[in-house]
Amino acid sequence: MENLFTTKYKNDIIGIISCFDRQLFSGSLIQLTYPKGLERHLRANHILLKDFKPYAISLATELKQNAYRLAEENNAKFIYLKDSKQSNEELVKAIIDERGTKAGLIAVITSLETDYGFDIQGSKAINKNRIESQKKKMFAYIFLFY
């Protein structure tokens, strides 16, 4: 059986990993996971701390739009989970039962989760703004492929 995903992206694929069950890949841009790294990123991209919030909002909006677009292009479901206690396993089984085992993106799942994010805080003592990490509610996106 021809794998449409590998055929479609053959020029971008440098290797293939396979296993008997499922694989979970999780990632982050390490530089953007701590305040000093974010400061370096903003400086390298000529973004002032006062412009951080609109910059972050524009990136979040672009991420959401691309997630919707990918789901639509691949005839996949875009699902917002209202309850973080809902089992992803059961949800995925239901989607596969409904959709079949056709290879590709089957769903984009988003939910509101608590994780560390950033805020800009002013310091009167040193008359300077700084980036602080703190727990915040934010959207997480999970892209499920079969």
Of the segments 5-9, 31-35, 108-112, which one has the largest average pLDDT value?
108-112
Residue type, 79: I
Quote the CA–CA distance of 127 and 122 in Å, as a whole number.
7
Domain boundaries, the chain: 28-145
What pLDDT score was predicted for residue 86? 75
What pLDDT score was predicted for residue 82? 85
Quote the CA–CA distance of 28 and 19 in Å, as a whole number.
23
Regarding beta strands 105-123 and 128-145, do their DSSP bridges make them parallel or antiparallel, or are they unpaired?
antiparallel
The 3-state DSSP class for residue 118 equals: strand
What pLDDT score was predicted for residue 64? 94
- pLDDT tens digits along 66-101: 999 999 999 999 999 887 677 777 888 888 888 877
Read off the pLDDT of each residue in 131-142 and give the average, rounded to a whole number: 88
- Output the average pLDDT for the chain: 84
- pLDDT tens digits along 22-36: 667 777 777 788 889
